[in-house]
Structure 1
Amino acid sequence: MLLFALFSLLPILASAVNITTYVDVQLAPAQLPPSAAAKNADAIVSAFANLSRNTKWNLVQNITLEGDIGEPEGMVRIGDDRIIIAWGDWIVPTKSYGKDVHGNSIIKDGTDRENGQGYAHLSIFDGTGKRLADTTLNELSDSEYHIGGIDYDGECLWTELSEYRPNSTATIIRVNPYTYQFDPVVHINDHSGGVLHDTKQNTITALNWGSRNATKYTLDSEDLWRAHESKIPNPSFFADYQDCKWLGYPSQFDGERSTALCAGVAAYSIKDSTVSLGGLAIIDVDTMVPLMEVPITLYTPIGTSMTQNPIDVDVVDGRMRLYFAPDQHNGTVYVYEAL
C-alpha cells in the first residue's frame, strides 16, 4: 500500500457488513433511479433562487421512522419508496483532554479529545417509514466509526467512516444499495463529515470537521485512486455543512460549475444565550464558494434545527421539496415545500 502525505490508496475490495433484514423485500428497486437531486438540478436551482429569509414553508408530510435511529447524520432517498438513514450509535463517549494552566485545550496528536467507541449504521426504510433492514459497518474495536453525510449517484451510496474527533482520520466508502457491502476507497488524514461524488469529473470531495475545508480526489479509468488531491478552504462561515447532495452542472451556471446543495447549522452567541441557526446553500464544489444561500428557521417540536444533519431534496409540481430527519433516536422525516 502506497502512503501519501494526506491520504493512502486502498484496494477496491468489498468489506463485510453485518446486516439484519426485517422484511423479505429488495432493499433497492430492481432498476435504480437516478439521483433526484442531479436529475432535477435545474428545477432545484430555479426554485432556490426564489427563496429568501421570508419564505413560507409548508409541512406536507411527517414520516415516522420505525425503531431507534441513534444520532442521524445523513439521508438519501432512492426513488419514492426507499429512505436510507446514516446514523451513529455511540457506546463510549468522546472525552476532552482538558485545559492547560492557561485555559487552552490540551492537544495530543493534533486533536483535543479521546476517540470513544461506537457503531456506524445504514438503515433502510420504505416510503411509510417501515424499517426494512439495518446494517452495521464496523466493529466496536475500530477507531473509525463515525458515519457522516451520505450521497447517492444513481448507482452507489457514498459516505465515510471517521474517528469521532477533529484533525483525525477517515475512510471514504462506496456502498452497494442492494447488498450494503462496501468498498473502502480512499483513506484521509483528517476527519470527514460529508462526501460528494461528481460523476462527470469522476471526483470525490470530502468535507472535514465543521466543513471548514474540503479535499478533492480524482478517480482514474481503472477504478483506482490517483495520488492527487487538492485542499479547498470553505470561505463561508454562515453554517457548517452537515449533509450535501450533488446537483451536477446546472444550466443556470452555463453547465460549467459542479454544484451541490448543502445544509447545516451554526451556533451563534446572542447576549447570554446560544442560538442554533440553520442554513441552506448551493455551493460550487470546486471552490466551496456559496452561489446561493438562505437561512432556515425551522425547528422540530423538540427544538432541533431542521438542518441539523440529514437532508435530501427534490422538486414536486414545480416546488422545492426538502426532507429533514434531525431528531435523535425517535426519528421523523419532516417533508417541507417552499410556498
Structure 2
Amino acid sequence: MKKVIFAIAAALTIGTVSTAFAYPDAFNSGKEGKEMAGKFQQLSRDNVWEQTEKVDLQFKTYHPQGMTKVGDLYYMSSVEIIEKPVKYDQPHDGYDRSPGKGIGHLFVFNKEGKLLKDIKLGEGSIYHPGGIAYDGESIWVPAAEYRPNSKSIIYKVDPQTMKSEEVFRTNDHIGGVLRDGKHGNLKAVSWGSRTFYEFNEKGKVLRKSTNPSHFIDYQDCESAGKESMICSGITELPQQSSSTAKYELGGLALLDMKKMNMVHELPITLFSPQGHVVTRDPVFLENTKLGIKMYAVPDDDQSSMLVYETKATKK
C-alpha cells in the first residue's frame, strides 16, 4: 500500500489563493485512514476531547454544512437562506414544504480564518450544499433543494483552479457525498441520512439501502482508509421541561463502506459558544500520532472553527 505523500513543493497561486496539495491520496485515505479507523474503534464515551485551538472565521458563514481539508486550506460548504421553506398543511406535488430561496457557497479559508474564495453552487431551487469530501483530485459537493425527496446536483471542484463542474443530477435530496477512492464510486446519504446511495460517476444508482442506525442523522462523512468512512451528525431530542426546546445529541460513526453498516459509534457531548453540539454540521477528522484530531464549525453566521484532540487507548 502506498504511503501518503505530502508534496509541499512550489506553492500554487490562483488569484489570492496559495496552498500546498496532498498527492497522490487524500487525507485519511490509504495507510493514514486505516490507522485512523483502528484508533476510532478504541474510542468510547469516556474519551476526553481537549480543545487545542479556536479559529475565528473572518467572514459571514451563514449556515455551514460540510468541511474538508486540502493541503493547508479548508473548504466549507454553506447555505445562505434568503427565504425559509414553509411546511404545507397538505403535501403539494409530493413535497411537504415550499422550496424557499437561497444561495449555495463553498468557502475556502486559511488557518487564520481568512476567506480566500467563495465558490457559488446550485441553481434555482437547488441551493443547499451538504457534506463534502476530497478524494485526492477533486472535492465532491452535493447541492439539493432544501426539502426531502427532492432533487440534487453533484459537483466536483478542482482545488487547484477553484473551478466547479457539474457531474450529474439525481432525484432525491443528497445531504452528503464522498468518493470511494480516487477512481471509485460515490457513496451518498439522503435527507437525514435515512437512505444510503451508491452512484457511478454518470449518476446511475448502483445500490440503495436503508440506514439501520437511528442514533444520529449523518451530516458530513470522510474516508477512513479504503474500506471505511467516518460520519458525524446530530439528533434533536425533546426535553421534558420544555415543549419547544430540543437537546442536541452529537455523535460519530465508523461505517463499513461496502456493506454500509455501522462498525463503531460514540456520542459527542461538546458544545459550541452558541450552545450547539460540535458535530451539528461541518466536521473533519485527521489522524495524529497518538489519536484523532477533530475540526468542527457548529455555529451559524459568526462562526469559529473549533479544534479538539483525543488519544486512542490500545485494547
**Does TM, scored on the shorter chain, surpass 0.5?**
yes
Choose which of 242, 257, 261 in structure 2 pairs with 1:285: 257
Q: By how many angstroms is 1:133 displaced?
A: 1.6
Equivalent runs, 1:252-331 vs 2, <5 Å:
258-273=227-242, 274-331=246-303
Cα distance in 1, alignment partners of residues 259 and 93 from structure 2 = 29
Deviates more, 1:171-180 or 1:266-275: 266-275
Is the CA contact 2:152–2:174 (under 8 Å) kept in the aligned structure 1? yes
- Partner Cα distance (2:111, 2:273) in 1: 22
Aligned match of 2:40: 48
2: CA distance, partners of 1:178 / 1:200: 16
CA–CA separation in structure 2 for the residues paired with 1:287 and 1:278: 23
What residue in structure 2 maps to residue 84 of structure 1? 75
Gap change, CA 1:30 and 1:245, over 3 Å in 2 = closer
- Post-superposition CA distance 1:11-43 (Å, at most 9, x none): xxxxxxxxxxxx954354266563222142122
Whether contact under 8 Å (1:198, 1:248) holds in the other structure is no
Distance 1:45 1:30, change over 3 A: closer
2-side partners of 1:197 and 1:308: how far apart?
22
Paired position in structure 1 for 2:63: 71
Query: Which consecutive aligned stretches of 4+ in structure 1 deviate over 6 angstroms post-superposition?
Result: none
The TM-score, its normalising length taken from structure 2, stands at 0.88
CA distance in 2, matches of 1:33, 1:236: 33
Equivalent runs, 1:161-310 vs 2, <5 Å: 161-199=143-181, 202-219=184-201, 225=202, 227-249=204-226, 258-273=227-242, 274-310=246-282
Q: Secondary structure at the match of 1:44?
A: helix
TM-score, structure 1 as length reference? 0.82
The Cα offsets for residues 72-98 of structure 1, whole Å up to 9 and x where unpaired, read as: 00111112x201111111111111112
In the alignment, what sits opposite 2:6?
none
Measure, in 2, the Cα distance between the counterparts of 1:329 and 1:242: 18
Q: Which segment is superposed worse, 157-166 or 284-293?
A: 284-293
Provide the C-alpha distance between the structure 1 equivalents of 2:41 and 2:203, rounded to a whole number of angstroms.
Answer: 37
CA offsets per residue over residues 178-235 of structure 1, 9 Å max, x none?
A: 223222222111101100101266101121000000111124xxxxx27442111100
> What secondary structure, in the 3-state scheme, does the structure 1 residue paired with 2:303 have?
strand
Query: Which amino acid is the alignment partner of residue 306 of structure 1?
Result: V
Which of 85, 88, 98 pairs up with 1:114? Answer: 98
241 and 227 in structure 1: CA distance in 2 versus 1, 3 angstrom threshold: closer
SS at match of 1:145: strand
Q: CA–CA distance in 1 between the matches of 2:291 and 2:134?
A: 21
CA distance in 2, matches of 1:260, 1:30: 22
Q: Tell me the SS of whatever aligns to 2:150.
A: coil
Contact 2:170 2:203 in 1 (8 A): no
CA contact (8 A) 1:33 1:78 kept: no
Instruction: Assess if the C-alpha contact under 8 Å between 2:176 and 2:188 holds in 1.
Output: yes
Structure 1 range deviating more: 45-54 or 117-126 = 45-54
Matched, 1:38 2:10: no
d(CA) in 2 for partners of 1:31, 1:262: 22
Partner of 1:5: none
Is the Cα contact below 8 Å between 1:111 and 1:165 reproduced in 2? yes
Residue aligned with 1:115, SS: coil
Q: Name the counterpart of 1:4.
A: none
**Aligned residue type for 2:53:** Q
What's the offset of the Cα at 1:127? 1.4
For the 8 Å contact 1:26–1:178, the answer to whether it is kept is no
Q: Which amino acid aligns with 2:33?
A: A
Is the CA contact 1:232–1:287 (under 8 Å) kept in the aligned structure 2?
no
Q: Which runs of 5+ in 2 are unaligned?
A: 1-13
SS at match of 1:299: coil
Partner of 2:11: none
Q: Does 1:96 align with 2:68?
A: no
CA RMSD of aligned residues (A): 1.8
CA contact (8 A) 1:135 1:180 kept: yes
Q: For 1:148 and 1:228, locate their aligned partners in 2 and report how far apart those are by CA, in whole Å.
A: 19
2:67/2:284 contact within 8 Å kept: yes
Q: How many residues align?
A: 294
Distance 1:30 1:190 in 2: 33
